[in-house]
Amino acid sequence: MAARQLGAMRLGRVGVLPRFREQGIASFLVGVVLEHLAASGEEHVHLLARKEFPQILAWWAKHGFAPDDEEGNCIVMARSLPVAVEVPDADAMRALGERLAGVLRAGDLIIASGDLGAGKTTLTQGIGAGLGVVGPVISPTFVLSRVHPAQGDGPALVHVDAYRLGSFAELEDIDLEESLDTAVTLVEWGAGVAEGLAPGRLEIDIRRGIDPEDETRWVFLTPIGPRWSRTALAEAAQAVPGVRAPASRAGRTPKTPEETP
């Protein structure tokens, strides 16, 4: 499905039998491949999409790809891959959050995903410590959102738990818009619900292994929009003691959505 060309990985064709279409299977397959490539040290990926099928171009654009070049009757679509790091335990997860806080600023939206117990709140505690907000930072499961004021000149942290929310309309009822521009807003369980809060965001996906006794987690950091720098995120994450990143296999750097006007 993927092969190295022009210094970056190129995806081959993604096909789903007609009777299984419109069920999210293609999106799932692409997501798995992109995460595997990121965990293997790849930084960018591209593919060919034929010009005469605008609906296919739109589908890839919805998955973070942007036009980068042309080859014959095809558009070369490209995107950067998530920053992937392996985190050994809860202490390292908090330390990762503290480091990430160093690249955050007022107005930032973070959407954190992962299974129960994956470490979303632990990461948020580290972010709160790095921002220097009033604590303690605990999961706002029953109150839905909690505001942690800044103790200094930095932004406040608005911590949201969207586990019980089923739509963006329900999220809007919390009135997060009032603080979006002045605080860092982190939404746990926000995938599929919170994307409408801002055009740009940092998506954090935390994956655990099948052994419940193993604290090791894979963390995928996906920057969306021109506000974010993949390089800055990678440097912050890789500076945490004990956190391991796959060896980079970077080659040619194509134009990515965050660099596209």
Q: Are residues 115 and 203 in the same domain?
A: yes
Q: Are residues 110 and 162 in the same domain?
A: yes
More confident residue, 179 or 175: 179
Measured CA to CA, the distance from residue 58 to residue 22 in angstroms comes to 15
**What local confidence, expressed as pLDDT, does residue 248 receive?**
73
**What local confidence, expressed as pLDDT, does residue 255 receive?**
47
User: Could you tell me if residue 256 is inside a domain?
Assistant: no
Q: Are residues 232 and 152 in the same domain?
A: yes
Q: Are residues 188 and 129 in the same domain?
A: yes
Provide long-range contacts, Cβ within 8 A and 24+ apart, for 64-69: 64/222, 64/224, 64/257, 65/257, 66/255, 66/256, 66/257, 66/260, 67/255, 67/260, 68/254, 68/255, 69/254
**What local confidence, expressed as pLDDT, does residue 256 receive?**
47
User: Could you tell me if residue 247 is inside a domain?
Assistant: no
Q: Are residues 102 and 114 in the same domain?
A: yes
**What local confidence, expressed as pLDDT, does residue 157 receive?**
97
Indicate whether 206 pLDDT > 80.
yes
Q: Are residues 26 and 137 in the same domain?
A: no
Q: Are residues 140 and 50 in the same domain?
A: no
What is the tens place of the pLDDT at every residue in 39-74?
988 998 999 999 999 999 999 988 889 999 999 999
The pTM of the full predicted model, rounded to 2 decimals, is 0.84
Please state the three-class secondary structure of the chain as a single string. Answer: CEEEECCEEEECCCCCCHHHCCCCHHHHHHHHHHHHHHHCCCCEEEEEEECCCHHHHHHHHHCCCEEEEEECCEEEEEEECCEEEEECCHHHHHHHHHHHHCCCCCCCEEEEEECCCCCHHHHHHHHHHHHCECCCCCCCCCCCEEEECECCCCCEEEEEECCCCCCHHHHHCCCHHHCCCCEEEEEECCCCCCHHHCCCEEEEEEEECCCCCCCCEEEEEEEECCCCCHHHHHHHHHCCCCCECCCCCCCCCCCCHHHCC
What is the tens place of the pLDDT at every residue in 217-256?
999 999 988 899 999 999 999 999 999 988 776 644 444 4
Mean pLDDT of 20-34: 87
User: Could you tell me if residue 253 is inside a domain?
Assistant: no
User: Could you tell me if residue 181 is inside a domain?
Assistant: yes
Whole domain around residue 141: which residue ranges? Answer: 83-238
CATH number, position 132: 3.40.50.300
Indicate whether 81 pLDDT > 70.
yes
Are the C-beta atoms of 12 and 48 separated by less than 8 Å? no
Least confident among 16-25, 206-215, 249-258: 249-258
- Count of domains observed in the chain: 2
Q: Which of 58, 81, 104 is the endpoint of a domain?
A: 81
More confident residue, 222 or 2: 222
